[in-house]
Structure 1
Amino acid sequence: MSEHIELTGTVPASCNGKRLDQTLAELFPDYSRSRLKTWITDGWVKVDDEVVDKPREKVITGMDITVNAEIMEEQRFEAQAIELDIVYEDDAILVLNKPAGLVVHPGAGTPDGTLLNALLHHYPAIDQVPRAGIIHRLDKDTTGLMVVAKTLPAQTHLVAAMQEREITREYEAVCNGPMTAGGHIDEPIGRHPTKRTHMAVVPTGKPAVTHYRVVERFRNHTHLRLRLETGRTHQIRVHMAHLRHPLVGDFTYGGRPRPPQNASPELLSFLRNFKRQALHAARLSLHHPITGEWMSWDAPTPPDFVELLKMLRADRQSHANDDQR
C-alpha cells in the first residue's frame, strides 16, 4: 500500500551552498533524513525542473524544489493500551492533554510506550494516517494540549494551518529570575553547533518568534504566559534560556535551582526535586479542519506546577511579613 505525495519549496538563504539532502531536511522536517535521501537517489526530486539524484549536490538560494514520491506503508508500530486524557474527539480530530513523562513518537531509546502507540490502540484506523496523525509534538516532560488528525484530509488541513500559523498555542511557564515586563523574542533556532542533541539561537537557524507576558512575580522567579508564533524544537526553552531566564527544572538549558536568598528548607528541597521543565501547553485554538468552526480548549494546570506556584507564593509572603516586622 502506498500514498502519492507532492512537496514544493524554495531554497532559503539559510541553505545557500548546502547539500540537497540537508536542504530537504530543513524544508520538509516531517520526513526523516533517510527517507528524503532515498527519494533523491530514486529520482523523485527536481531542482528547477531538473531531476537531481545526488544527495550531495549543492543548491543555492531561490532554487525551486519539487518532490513527487510514493510513501510506502509506514513502519508498523505496536498498539499499546496506554491511558489517554482525551479532551475532545470527533470523526476528524482528537485533542488530548499529555502528561509529563510520555514521549510522543518512538525513536532512539524509546521504541514503544509512546503517545503514537497509545493512539494506535485507541483508534486503530489511524494507522492509515502518516505518523498516526501527529502533526506537532510536546517534549517528553512538557504537559498539555495536542491535536491529532484522525484522517488524511484532516491531517492535510491541520499541517497547512500549522505552517500558516493559524493554530494558536499558549503555554504557562515558570522561569528563573525576576522579569519586569512582557515582550517577544524573535531569534532563529537551529541545532547547537557542538551539542547535537540541543537546540540553540544561531544565525543560520529557522525563524522563531515567542510572545510572553508576566502573570505573577516572585522573589527570584516569574510565572509567564507565552504564545508561540512559530513551532521550533524546544522553542520556548531555548528562547527563555537565551534571555537568561531558563525554565525551572530545565537542566538541559541551564534551569538549575536558583532559590531566592534565605529560602526555607522546604522550598530548597522542592526546587531541587522539580525534575522537569516547568512548562504546560495550557490552551489550543484552531479552525476545525473539516467544518471550519473556530474551537478552543484549555487544560488545567498540572498538580506539580500548581504546587510550585504555591511554594513560591508562600516564600514571597513569608519574606514580605519579615520586612513588615
Structure 2
Amino acid sequence: MAEQISLSAEVPVELGGKRLDQILAQLFPDYSRSRIKTWILDDMVQVDGLTFNTPKEKLLGGEHVEINAQIEAPREYEAQDIALDIVYEDDDILVINKPAGLVVHPGAGNPDGTVLNALLHHCPEIENIPRAGIVHRLDKDTTGLMVVAKTLPAQTHLVAALQKRENFTREYEAICYGTMTAGGMVDAPIGRHATKRTHMAVNEFGKPAVTHYRVAEKFRAHTRLRLRLESGRTHQIRVHMAHISHPLVGDPFYGGRPRPPKHASEEFMATLRGFKRQALHAIKLQLAHPITGEQMRWQAPVPEDMVALTEALRQDTEANGYDDL
C-alpha cells in the first residue's frame, strides 16, 4: 500500500534566488530535505506546470509549485497480535512502555515478534511510515518509554527534535556496580568495537555521545542512578558506565561477572546472580508534540525485577553497613 501526497503553494518573493530543494523544504517543513530531494529527482515536482527534476534549480519567486508523490511502504513486515503497553495515543503519536525481552525492530536472529510487528497490527496505516514510525530504540532487555510517530509529518518533526537535541528529553534509571559519591557527565565518542562486532565501545573515531548521571541512592557496593541522554548511540549508557568502571548490574555485554561484597548473604548473591538483564529502565520521556507543539511528559514505573533488586541492595546495606566492603 502506498500513501498519496499532494502539496501545492506559491513561492514567496522573499525566497527568490534560492534553490528548489531549499524552497520546498521551507514551504513544506513536515517533510525532510532528503525526501523532498528524492521527489524532485523522481519527477514528482512541478513548477508552473512544468516538471523540474534538478534540486539545485533556482527560482525567482512567485511561481506555483506542486508535489504529487507516493510514499511506498519501505518493506513488507508481518502484522502480529502482540500486546503493547500503551501509555498515550493520539492521531499523530503513540507512547509505549516496552517490557524486557521485546526487540524493537526485526533483524538478524529476530525476524518477527518485535515492537514493529505489534505496531503494524495495532495501527495498520503505520506501514507507510519508514521503520513503522520508530524514531528511537531501546535494547531488547531495556525496559521503558518509547515514542512512535503515526504520520510522516510527526516522524519528520520528532527526528528533527532528536537530532537538534531540542524539546526531547529521555531519562533513565539504572543500577551499577560500585559506590559512586557524586553525579557527573561522560563525554566520550562511541563506535563499533574493534573485534566484537555486536558490541560498541568508546572509540576516538566514533560518533559524539554525552551521558549525564546523578546519584539517586547509594548502597554498600552498588549505586542507583538517574541518567539523561544528550545523544542516542547504540548501547550508550551501558558503554559509558562501563567506560568509567561502573558497568550496569546484569549487563551481559559490558557488565562482567557479579562482584560479591564481603559477607553478603547467599540469598542476596542469588538475587544478584539471578538478574539476567542490564538494570536499565527508560523512566521518563518529555517532548514537544510534533504537530501541536504542546509540551508533554510521561513516566513509567520501575519494573518489578528492578524494584526487587533495589530492595535486596537496601537489605544488604542495612545488614552490613557502608564500610564493610
> Paired residue for 2:86?
86
Which residue in 2 is equivalent to 1:97? 97
SS in 1 for 2:253: helix
* Aligned-residue offset at 1:76: 0.7
**Do the aligned residues in 2 keep the contact of 1:248 with 1:256 (CA within 8 Å)?**
no
Root-mean-square deviation (Å): 2.6
Instruction: Give, in angstroms, the shift of residue 319 of structure 1.
Output: 1.3
Q: Deviations over 1:241-288 (max 9, x none)?
A: 000110000020134211211101011111111000000000000000
Distance 2:139 2:299 in 1: 18
User: 1:290 corresponds to which letter in structure 2?
Assistant: I
Instruction: Measure the CA separation in 2 of the matches of 1:320 and 1:174.
Output: 18
Q: Displacement, 1:73?
A: 3.1
- Measured in 1, the distance between the counterparts of 2:322 and 2:163 equals 50
Task: Within 5 Å, give how 1:149-228 maps onto structure 2.
Answer: 149-166=149-166, 167-228=168-229
Give, in whole Å, the separation in 2 of the partners of 1:113 and 1:233: 21
Aligned positions of 1:1-325 closer than 5 A? 1=2, 72-166=72-166, 167-320=168-321
Q: Is the 8 A contact 2:73 2:129 kept in 1?
A: no
Q: Is the 8 A contact 1:247 1:255 kept in 2?
A: no
Q: Classify 1:142/1:129 alpha carbon distance in 2 versus 1 (closer, same or farther; 3 Å).
A: same
Distance in 1 (alpha carbons) for counterparts of 2:243 and 2:323: 34
Amino acid corresponding to residue 246 of structure 2 in structure 1? H
Between the aligned partners of 1:318 and 1:295, the Cα distance in structure 2 is 42
Measure the CA separation in 1 of the matches of 2:257 and 2:99: 22
Quote the offset at 1:316 in angstroms.
Answer: 0.5
- Identity among equivalent positions (%) equals 70
Instruction: Provide the C-alpha distance between the structure 2 equivalents of 1:254 and 1:264, rounded to a whole number of angstroms.
Output: 21
Q: Which has the larger radius of gyration?
A: 2
- Counterparts of 2:250 and 2:21 in 1: how far apart (Å)? 39
- Give the whole-Å Cα distance in 1 for the aligned partners of 2:151 and 2:103: 22
Q: Is the 8 A contact 2:106 2:112 kept in 1?
A: yes
CA distance in 2, matches of 1:322, 1:110: 45
Which segments of 5 or more consecutive residues in structure 2 lack a partner in the other structure? 6-19, 23-41, 43-55, 57-69
- Gap change, CA 1:293 and 1:2, over 3 Å in 2: closer
**Aligned residues between the structures:** 267
Deviations 1:277-300 (A, max 9, x none): 000000000000010000000000
* Counterpart in the other structure of 1:32: none
Secondary structure class of the residue paired with 2:314: helix
**C-alpha separation in 2, matches of 1:226 and 1:110:** 29
Q: Provide Cα deviations, 1:186-236, integer angstroms capped at 9, x if missing partner.
A: 000000111111000000000000000001111110000000011000000
| TM-score normalised by L of structure 2 | 0.78
Q: Which residue of 2 aligns with 1:19?
A: none
Residue identity matched to 1:215: A
TM-score (norm 1): 0.78
Distance of aligned partners of 1:164 and 1:319 in 2 relative to their CA distance in 1, 3 Å threshold: same
- TM-fit CA distance, 1:142: 0.1
Q: Partner of 2:67 in structure 1? A: none
1:153 is aligned with what amino acid? P
C-alpha distance 296-255 of structure 1, shift in aligned 2 (>3 A): farther
CA change 1:2–1:149 in 2 (3 A) is closer
1:322–1:103 CA distance, 2 compared to 1 (3 A): closer
